[in-house]
């Protein structure tokens, strides 16, 4: 196994990576800088789009372009023009913002919301299906790391401030969740279970922000691997590459937070090679 720092611009809050199998390109965001990036590992081409509000996550659309979770609503992003247009207003409460999200295998965009002050469980879990918005859950402080088991029957989603990753029963036909239960408590490794993904064997990989580790968890919630990281604040994980066997890990530069200083590698993006596992293709939003 080898961890390599990538020659990519530093982020303030690097998050939300999505590897697109069709394009063989990796998309990711900088939450604070309000930016979406596209990186082609083959030719090192790197593009940037600016969005008008804080961005919690993004996903590609089957018809082209992307959807982006901005502030209080989901918007479309036209890659050709950079135009951003509203698709669904989620929560007009200025103290709640949209957070991490991914697309399920039926083409729905499933995402969390968070309390901006990280003080109360004002957030929830939502699904956008062809423009139809449905609330799936509530009582969440800081939503992170949505992902599914290979058979789509189990959905994972963290409340980072509770140090918990939850598992839910998931109905792919209806998009409904049931039986929320604790899956993994990250407290021993670090306070913030952040972005996550599931590999082809059904194991969950998660970045433990402020803990300086990437963990691999079994479907039973057991720690199978613990990978010490060059920075204490890895923010997410995504398998990428032609064989889906490389793990992309963006990080956070905390210097924008009063009283915090950045270590040299904070805000950089990394790749972990030689893990001996493969990820799963990410679907596109069908709406």
Domain coordinates of the chain in residue numbers? 2-273
Contacts of 257 (CB under 8 A, 6+ apart): none
Q: How far apart are alpha carbons 269 and 251 in whole angstroms? A: 6
Say what the pLDDT of residue 258 is. 83
The pLDDT tens digits for 151-164 are: 999 999 999 999 99
Q: Are 217 and 158 in contact (CB under 8 A)?
A: no
CATH of the structural domain 2-273, one choice from 1.10.730.10, 2.120.10.30, 3.50.50.60, 3.20.20.140:
2.120.10.30
Nearest CA among 265, 263, 275 for reference residue 205: 275
Average pLDDT over residues 135-144: 96
pLDDT for residue 92 is more than 80 = no
- Sequence length of the chain is 287
Catalytic residues: 194
The pLDDT tens digits for 170-192 are: 999 999 999 999 999 999 999 99
Whole-number mean pLDDT of the chain?
96
Residue tagged 């580790």 (tokens)? 213
**C-beta pairs of 246-250 under 8 Å, 24+ apart in sequence:** 246/271, 246/272, 246/273, 247/205, 247/214, 247/271, 247/272, 247/273, 247/275, 247/279, 248/17, 248/19, 248/26, 248/28, 249/207, 249/214, 250/11, 250/14, 250/15, 250/17, 250/28
Nearest CA among 139, 94, 137 for reference residue 116: 94
Nearest CA among 76, 125, 75, 68 for reference residue 96: 125
């Amino acid at each position: 196994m080898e961890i390599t720092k990538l020659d990519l611009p530093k982020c303030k809050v690097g998050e939300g990576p999505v590897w697109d199998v069709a394009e063989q390109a990796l998309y990711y965001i900088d939450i604070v800088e309000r930016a979406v990036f596209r990186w082609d590992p083959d030719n090192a081409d790197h593009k940037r789009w600016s969005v008008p509000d804080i961005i919690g996550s993004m996903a590609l659309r089957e018809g082209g372009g992307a959807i982006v979770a901005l502030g209080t609503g989901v918007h479309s992003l036209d890659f050709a023009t950079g135009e951003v247009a509203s698709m669904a207003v989620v929560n007009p409460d200025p103290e709640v913002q949209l957070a991490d999200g991914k697309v399920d295998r039926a083409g729905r965009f499933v995402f969390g919301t968070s309390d901006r002050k990280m003080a109360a469980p004002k957030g929830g879990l939502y699904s956008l299906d062809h423009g139809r918005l449905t609330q799936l859950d509530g009582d969440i402080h800081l939503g992170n790391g949505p992902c599914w088991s290979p058979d789509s029957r189990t959905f994972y989603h963290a409340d980072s401030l509770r140090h918990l990753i939850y598992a839910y029963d998931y109905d792919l036909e209806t998009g409904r969740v049931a039986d929320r239960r604790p899956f993994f408590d990250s407290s021993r490794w670090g306070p913030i279970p952040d972005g996550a993904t599931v590999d082809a064997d059904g194991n969950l990989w998660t970045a433990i922000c402020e803990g300086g580790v990437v963990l691999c968890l079994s479907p039973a919630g057991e720690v199978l691997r613990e990978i010490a990281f060059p920075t204490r604040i890895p923010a997410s994980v995504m398998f990428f590459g032609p064989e889906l066997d490389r793990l992309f890990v963006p990080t956070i530069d905390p210097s924008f937070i009063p009283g915090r200083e950045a270590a040299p590698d904070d805000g950089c993006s990394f790749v972990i090679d030689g893990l001996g596992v493969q990820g799963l293709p990410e679907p596109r939003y069908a709406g």
